[in-house]
Every structure is written in structure tokens, then in C-alpha cells.
Structure 1
Amino acid sequence: MPTKTLRIPTTDGQADAFAAFPDRAERHPGVLMYADGFGIRPVLREMARELAGHGYYVLVPNSFYRHGPTPVIELPEYIGEEARPAVFAQLMPLIEAHTAERVLSDADAYLRFLTTQPEVGAGPVAVTGYCIGGLYAMRTAAAHPGQVAAVAGFHSPVSADGPERDRLLERITAEIHLGHAETDVTPEALGELNQALDTAGVSYTSEIYPGTLHGFTMSDTDAFNPAALQHHWDRLLPLLGRTLANSEAERHNK
């Protein structure tokens, strides 16, 4: 599986990024993958390679590049409960500094870069994200409705509050999948969110993954749930197969 470390020109400098794509001399649909708050690390690279194996060019940018290249902060190999307070003490200022304006400015640069790579075919792209990256994915889809055909967020917030959420959803034309952790969303809150999705008129699935904690897809954390990670693939791959026009990718997803 070919991989690259790349530098993406942005209005504020250059964002380092990881890319994975099939080992075939063909063009493939593009997927922009936003990491969780912990950033690009072995588990994210492995997830990108896994997705690329299904026929996609997957680009994972360092969202916090303004503070330095990957790794922006040093992480333990396993991010257990005992390590989290010290890690979050370093991460929260970076997350707070990454405003909606910065997210959208960067999204412009990431999509422009992604769609001009020689391995990426013409046509729509997908955006997926984990934890805070899911919010970045939704904002990207809302800002680029003509270009983003699918968006997925896993154990992630949709937005800070109802009005902001509703303004976001009404601008999205992509098909949406939201996979929530059981500890993140109550059934009542899920009902309110799904009502907002209905009102926005988007095509979507939005569900709580049973027995999950926040961060369930990440194998280097205590929240990891192998069954939920597989469920995530079982939802994500058909979504991409339906929405991204590429017969090679569709064959891989069947």
C-alpha cells in the first residue's frame, strides 16, 4: 500500500499530511479524513491504509500544523486513563485555537490539494472524521456542498448548540452517517438531532453504537471497541460506495 508524507499549502503556511492509496496505476475517489484530537499517529495511519485498500485515496492532514508538524505533542504508545490528563492539558489549547474560521480556511486548501493529486479521479469526494474531526468534517461538507458527496463522523460532536447545528445541517447536501458513542449521546438527544436532520432534508443515518465509549474506534485508547470499529467500517464503506462514482471502489466495497 503506497503512502506519502505531504505538505499542503494553506493561507497560514503548510500543513503536513499523511496519504494512503491503492497500489495501482489508476485514479481513485478522494477521501479527506480528519483525525481525532490526538492527531496523526500509527492508529490513524493504519485506518487510512485500511480505507485505501478499498479503492480510495485517503488524505489525513495535521489539523494543528500551526503549532508544529506531527507529532505536535508527544503521545504515549497507548493513551490510557493515567496519561489522559497530561495529554489533554497540552491538547485543549490547540483545539480551542482551531476556530471555525480556521477549519473552513484549511478545508478549502485540503480539498483543493486532494482533488489535484495525480492519483485522484474527477468527481465528488467524501469527508470523514473522528471525535473533534467529525465536527471538522461536517463543517467542511457544509462549506462545499457541490463537492462533498458523503460525510461521516464517529464519536464526534455535530456542533456546539442547536441553532449552530441547524445552520450547519441546512447547508449540507452530502449523504451523512453519524456513529455516536453510547456515553456521548442520550436517546433523547439522538432523537432531537435526528429530528434536525429530518428538518434539513438530508439523507442520513444517525445511530448510537451499543456498548461504546467516546473514542471507540481508536485501538490505542481504553475506549477501543473492536466490534464497534467493525460496525464503523460496515457503515462507512457502503456510504462511500453509494456516493463516490468509481467502479473500482464499488467493487472493493462489495
Structure 2
Amino acid sequence: MPTISTTVTTADGTCPVTLHTPNGSGPWTGVVMYVDAGGVRDLFQDMAARLAGFGHAVLLPDVYYRHGEWEPFDMKTVFNDPKDRARLFRMIGSITPDMMAADAEAFFDFLAARPEVKGDAFGVCGYCMGGRTSIIVAGRVPDRVAAAGSFHASGLVTDEPTSPHLLADRIKATVYVAGAANDQGFTPRHAEILDQALTDANVTHTVEFYPAGHGFAVPDNAPYDPEAAERHWVALQGLFKTALPN
């Protein structure tokens, strides 16, 4: 699949991105893929390319760009290394909902200006913290998001005033949420609350659980589950096929 490496200018600086497109002339519907806590790495380039193969122009941004040249995480060891674990959580916590929304506006502007991309409403999808970002962006930038997919995300329902579920009445996108089994960051009770909020807001949505652990869709996560990962690809393909404008 063709890949372009470039940058997007945001309110806070310059964000490195790659744009993955199908073979052919296009144009295609645009999607932003949000990474998990480990940040952009080779396997996410592969995942973005696979999503592009479904017929989309997929933008993969380095969401940690405000940290400059940051040292990559090894997802197989990061949670057992106190120093690296602390660094990971500092970086996760450094990205606020306001930043997510402002960055998304810049990403969508970039996609809208590309000749490979058609339409002015986009898809978003994400994993772990990126799954939370997808729902926040759908609520904070509602006119530009037609479809949002969230996989093994935590923090979709919290007691904070910035909880993503409180954005339900602003969302215009079709929403798909797949939670992980036995995930204290997204429990069955959280799913009930999110489902009710989306239902009350008349949002077309699916909220369900996969019988796999947190991180099931990302190959270098310890709980990676090939069967659940394939199920997620089918769900994502179906979501964007039906919800993104032709």
C-alpha cells in the first residue's frame, strides 16, 4: 500500500504522521487511527496499511509529538519496569481532551485538503487510550466525525466532568465500542451507563465485550488474541462501510 510520511501543523506544534492509501487512484474516505499507550511503532504502520486496504485513506499521527523525540516503549516489558511505566503514564496523562479535539481538527483539515481523500466527514478508530480519544473526538468535533470505533479502551465512563460518556448528546457519528473481558477500566456497569447515554441521545451504536483481555487487537500487547483481533477487523470494516459517506 502507498505510504506518505509528512507532518501536520497543529495549534501546539508539528505532528509527524503517515498517510496510508489503497492501491489505485482514489479518492477514498478518510480515517484517523489513534494508537494505544505505546505510541506509533512499526506494527501500527502495518495496522494502518491493513485498514487502508479496506478502501480508506488512513492517517496515523504521533500523538506524543509534544514530547519531541521520545524513546519508544517496549510493550512486552513496560509494565514491569517501574521507571518506564511511570514515563508511560506521564505521557498518557499529558494529552488532554482539549488537545485531542484541537489535534483532530488539524488532522481533519489535512485529510480534507489531500487529493487522495474525499468527503468532509471522517472515521476515527483507536485502541486503549486511542479508543478513548476516538469517543472524545466524536463528541468534541461532532460535525466532522461520521464513524467512531473504540477497542479495549478504559476511561469511557468516569466520575470526572470530562468523562467521554457525557458527550453522548453531542455525537453525530455511528459508534462501535468493543470492551475487553475483566477490564477494571471498562466494566459491564460502565458499558451499561455508556449504552444508556448513547441510546438516550439517539446515537446509532453498538457496545459489546470480546472474550479477550485488554489489548486484544494489538499484536505486541501481552493479551493479544488473534481471534478477537480478526473479529475487530471485521467490525471496523463493517462500521466504516456503512457509516462513512460514499
After TM superposition, the score normalised by the length of structure 1 is 0.89
- In the TM superposition, what is the alpha-carbon distance from 1:162 to its structure 2 partner? 7.0
Q: How many Å apart are 1:121 and its aligned residue?
A: 1.0
Aligned runs of 1:138-177 on 2, under 5 Å?
A: 138-157=135-154, 158-161=156-159, 164-177=163-176
Q: Paired residues, what number?
A: 242
CA change 1:230–1:84 in 2 (3 A) is farther
SS of 1:194's equivalent in the other structure is: helix
Report the Cα distance in structure 2 between the residues aligned to 1:85 and 1:23, rounded to whole angstroms: 44
Q: Residue type of the partner of 1:175?
A: T
Q: Tell me which amino acid in the other structure corresponds to 1:207.
A: E
**Structure 1 segments unaligned to the other structure (5+ residues):** 247-254
Aligned to 2:52: 52
Assess, with a 3 A threshold, how the Cα gap between structure 1 residues 81 and 92 changes in structure 2: closer, same or farther.
closer
- Show the 5 A alignment for 1:201-220: 201-210=202-211, 212-220=212-220
Per mean C-alpha deviation after superposition, the further-off stretch among 157-166 and 4-13 is 157-166
Counterpart of 2:182 in structure 1: which amino acid? T
1:245 maps onto 2:245 in alignment = yes
Q: CA separation in 2, counterparts of 1:23 and 1:138?
A: 29
User: CA distance change for structure 1 residues 64 and 138 in 2, over 3 Å: closer, same or farther?
Assistant: same
* Cα RMSD after superposing both structures: 1.8
Mapped partners of 1:236, 1:116: distance in 2: 24
Aligned equivalent of 2:97, options 85, 100, 121: 100
Distance change >3 Å, CA 82–CA 139, structure 1 → 2: closer
How far did 1:160 drift? 3.2
**Further displaced range: 50-59 or 114-123:** 114-123
Q: Counterpart in 2 of 1:23?
A: 23
Letter in 2 for 1:35: V
Which segment drifts farther, 172-181 or 198-207?
198-207
- Residues 27/7 of structure 1: CA separation in 2 closer, same or farther (3 Å cut): same
1:91 and 1:34 map into 2 onto residues whose CA distance is 16
Deviations 1:120-170 (A, max 9, x none): 012421011111111111111112222211001101132433753443111
Letter in 2 for 1:68: G
Q: Which moved more, 1:98-107 or 1:187-196?
A: 187-196
Query: 1:230 and 1:86 mapped to 2: Cα distance?
Result: 33
Equivalent residues of 1:80, 1:221 under 8 A apart = no
Tell me which residue corresponds to 1:68.
Answer: 68
* Amino acid paired to 2:158: A
Whole-Å separation in 1 of the counterparts to 2:40 and 2:228: 21
Q: Structure 2: give runs of 5+ residues left out of the alignment.
A: none
The percent identity for this pair of structures is 35
What is the DSSP-based 3-state SS (H/G/I as helix, E as strand, rest coil) of the residue aligned with 2:233? helix
Q: Give the Å deviation of 1:84.
A: 5.4
Taking structure 2 as the reference length, the TM-score comes to: 0.92
CA–CA separation in structure 1 for the residues paired with 2:243 and 2:120: 10
Match of 1:133 in 2: 130
| 1:7 CA drift (Å) | 0.5
